[in-house]
Amino acid sequence: MTKSSLQVARAEYKPKLPAALIGNILVKEGAPTQSCAHQEEISKMFPHTYGFPVLHIESGSKPLKSSAINVGVILSGGQAPGGHNVIAGIFDGLKAMNSDSRLYGFLGGPSGLVNGEYIELTAQLIEEYRNTGGFDIIGSGRTKLEEQSQFDKGLENCRKIGINAIVVIGGDDSNTNACVLAEYYKSINAAVQVIGCPKTIDGDLKNEMIETSFGFDTACKVYSELIGNIERDALSAKKYWHFIKLMGRSASHITLECVLQTHPNYAIISEEVHEKRLTMNQIVEDIARVIKTRSDNNENFGVCLIPEGLIEFVPEIKILISEINDLLAHKAALFNVLETDDEKFQFVNSHISADSTKAFNSLPKEIQLQLLMDRDPHGNVQVSRIQTEELLIEMVEEKLKEWKAEGRYKGNFTALPNFFGYEGRCAAPSNFDANYTYALGYVAAVIIGAGKTGYMSSVRNLTAPAKEWIACGVPITMMMNIEKRHGHLKPVIQKALVKLDGKPFKEFAKNRAEWSMKTSYVFPGPIQYFGPNEVCDAATKTLQLERS
Ligand code: FBP
């Protein structure tokens, strides 16, 4: 493949490592840990991996050496900038401990482990991918690893290849599965370690020990650049309202971060919708109110940000989706033979509650069909395929028409829909993500070298310069609680939603009235890879505020 000039220059970038990972390394065990909730239940479910100590990785007095280890790496779920650098970090970390160690990549996500599809990740191959975006070195997939038969097949494949450790690079669900896999292998003395790495642009895998998931920084910077460009266009032309949906399947961290970077006129945060139990009609009225007030000031333009997960947080639609989920899960055979849209709508309407029927029939046909589309392998509605931005434009238009007829609104409303998601997931990692991911991979190798299993690689103190970052291994069970997922109680890593009493949301809440009326746009411009530190290396506003 032909390389762009930036790719060639970027390949030379040497990610900065925390000082503790350079030279002699010491792995120190802290005190035993507990899960963040439901300690009794979780400890019973994970008898072999529960309560492990945090591993503190510090500068030591002698080099960390290991026997030759063969490691298999899996990229799981949605792409996130920096995945290739995690792999480079694992590779360099393993080789630093023993030059005979080898790294393999399972192809196409977790299914590669089960089906025994893999390649060796050689120095030469990895060289081609350093500091690049994407997961294309081995590909990713969303196969759920949860059945014992899958674990057994995976083990058989590891034994055939001679693999002693697996690194799962994934989000909360994939790391939950990594923990279950670690527990199972330990319980049968399989001698295969399992380590996780926190990945997802959604930013919802974070807690006391994980300050952010990788990819969030770069993706938000890409979206903010695009939003800033649109804001400037809106300000120049003064004739459009831009409704921009942003990725983030459940939590609204991406939307909130982009709000803080670009100061749009309106933004919805799903967690607030949930907390205040706002109906679709209330959301629409509030957007229309801002449009009207701006229009009264002769400003018939603006920018409105919408998190893609919104639809699942609106109370009446949340109930509707859960009823449709149950219906599609339990009566799939009957539903799948229906041919026409009308047959499908009739079938749904005759199986859901009266309130949900009302909510379903209030939606335009396209959205109704989108709600009936296939679920992902984890049973989630594929919210990135639901055109919430179009839905809101249509509903706001209707509301403004009503107000016009009543003489309350005199402006012009022309809206354009946008969706930013895939534009950011494979961008070349920012300096922050390039450094962070390389360090996460290196830490994963050190944890493997220390002979541990059931841990997640963790790098903290992320608003400080990279050399001051703190490296550790965190027992995955420490992040677990019990949640109801698709009708069953399951041990899962707690998903971090936007906290309404957290500093990032409060910053938005403090300024939103002003940002909606005065045009206070900020234009962040494209990610810079070369130049002054304050331009190139800054962490997200979310991280800066959370750690301030
Ligand atoms: P992960 O949680 O696996 O990192 O994926 C996140 C995400 O990018 C969401 O923001 C989005 O809703 C989803 O993936 C889209 O998935 P797909 O590309 O499989 O349609």
Pocket mutation for ligand 1, best pick of 140, 172, 199, 201 (most atoms within 8 Å of C-beta): 201
Asked whether residue 400 carries a pLDDT value surpassing 70, the answer given is: yes
Output the pLDDT for position 418: 96
Is the C-beta atom of 249 inside 6 A of ligand 1?
yes
Ligand 1 atom at minimal distance to the Cα of residue 199: 4
Output the pLDDT for position 62: 86
Ligand 1 atom at minimal distance to the Cα of residue 77: 3
| Helix-helix angle 216-237:253-262, to 10 degrees | 50
The pLDDT of 226-231, averaged and rounded, is: 98
Give the CATH architecture of domain 54-215+429-480. 3-Layer(aba) Sandwich (3.40)
CA of 242 to the centre of ligand 1 (A): 23
pLDDT tens column, 121-173: 999 999 999 999 999 999 999 998 889 999 999 999 999 999 999 999 999 99
Is the C-beta atom of 384 inside 6 A of ligand 1?
yes
Output the pLDDT for position 373: 83
Least confident of 208-217, 359-368, 440-449: 359-368
In whole angstroms, what is the distance from residue 147 CA to residue 341 CA?
35
The residue contributing the CA closest to ligand 1 atom 12 is 249
Is the C-beta atom of 260 inside 6 A of ligand 1?
no
The residue contributing the CA closest to ligand 1 atom 17 is 78
The pLDDT of 367-393, averaged and rounded, is: 82
Q: Is 404 exposed, middle or buried (0-12, 13-18, 19+ CB in 10 A)?
A: middle
Q: Give the residue with greater pLDDT, 385 vs 529.
A: 529
Output the pLDDT for position 233: 98
Share of the chain above pLDDT 70, in %: 99
Ligand 1 atom at minimal distance to the Cα of residue 425: 8
pTM to 2 decimals? Answer: 0.95
User: CA angle, corner 545, sides to 458 and 213, nearest 5?
Assistant: 30
Is the C-beta atom of 121 inside 6 A of ligand 1?
no
Asked whether residue 379 carries a pLDDT value surpassing 80, the answer given is: no
Asked whether residue 376 carries a pLDDT value surpassing 80, the answer given is: no
pLDDT tens column, 329-342: 888 888 889 889 99
CATH: 3.40.50.460, 3.90.1150.10, 3.30.1330.10, 3.30.70.260. Which one for 217-425+501-547? 3.40.50.460
Asked whether residue 450 carries a pLDDT value surpassing 80, the answer given is: yes
Asked whether residue 258 carries a pLDDT value surpassing 80, the answer given is: yes
CA of 250 to the centre of ligand 1 (A): 10
Beta bridge partners of 420: 246
The residue whose two tokens read 């998190």 is 307
The residue contributing the CA closest to ligand 1 atom 10 is 248
In three-state secondary structure terms, 519 is: coil
Is the C-beta atom of 171 inside 6 A of ligand 1?
yes
Asked whether residue 487 carries a pLDDT value surpassing 70, the answer given is: no
CA of 313 to the centre of ligand 1 (A): 17
CA of 382 to the centre of ligand 1 (A): 8
Residue 188: which H helix or E strand, with range?
none
Ligand 1 atom at minimal distance to the Cα of residue 308: 12
CA of 50 to the centre of ligand 1 (A): 29
Considering 92, 172, 202, 217, which one is annotated as catalytic? Answer: 202
Where does CATH 3.40.50.460 sit in the chain? 217-425+501-547
For the chain, the average pLDDT equals: 94
Output the pLDDT for position 275: 96
pLDDT tens column, 265-294: 999 999 999 999 999 999 999 999 999 999
The residue contributing the CA closest to ligand 1 atom 19 is 78
The residue contributing the CA closest to ligand 1 atom 7 is 78
Q: Residue 484: pLDDT band by 50, 70, 90 thresholds?
A: confident
Output the pLDDT for position 157: 97
Where does CATH 3.40.50.450 sit in the chain? 54-215+429-480
CA of 203 to the centre of ligand 1 (A): 11
Least confident of 51-55, 229-233, 482-486: 482-486
Helices (H), 46-171: 83-97, 110-115, 123-129, 148-161
Asked whether residue 381 carries a pLDDT value surpassing 90, the answer given is: no
Is the C-beta atom of 248 inside 6 A of ligand 1?
yes
Ligand 1 atom at minimal distance to the Cα of residue 384: 12
CA of 236 to the centre of ligand 1 (A): 34
The pLDDT of 384-393, averaged and rounded, is: 89
DSSP 199: B
Q: Residue 378: pLDDT band by 50, 70, 90 thresholds?
A: low
CA of 176 to the centre of ligand 1 (A): 17
The residue whose two tokens read 């399951």 is 490
| 257, 540 Cβ separation under 8 angstroms | yes
Is the C-beta atom of 200 inside 6 A of ligand 1?
yes
Ligand 1 atom at minimal distance to the Cα of residue 213: 4
The residue contributing the CA closest to ligand 1 atom 11 is 249
Output the pLDDT for position 61: 86
Asked whether residue 225 carries a pLDDT value surpassing 70, the answer given is: yes
Is the C-beta atom of 215 inside 6 A of ligand 1?
no
Active site residue 92: no
In whole angstroms, what is the distance from residue 302 CA to residue 360 CA?
30
Q: Residue 13: pLDDT band by 50, 70, 90 thresholds?
A: very high
Least confident of 164-178, 361-375, 490-504: 361-375
Q: Give the residue with greater pLDDT, 429 vs 359.
A: 429
CA of 77 to the centre of ligand 1 (A): 7
Output the pLDDT for position 461: 97
Q: Tell me, what amino acid is at 280?
A: M
Q: DSSP states of 120-140 as a string?
A: E--HHHHHHHTT--SSTTT--
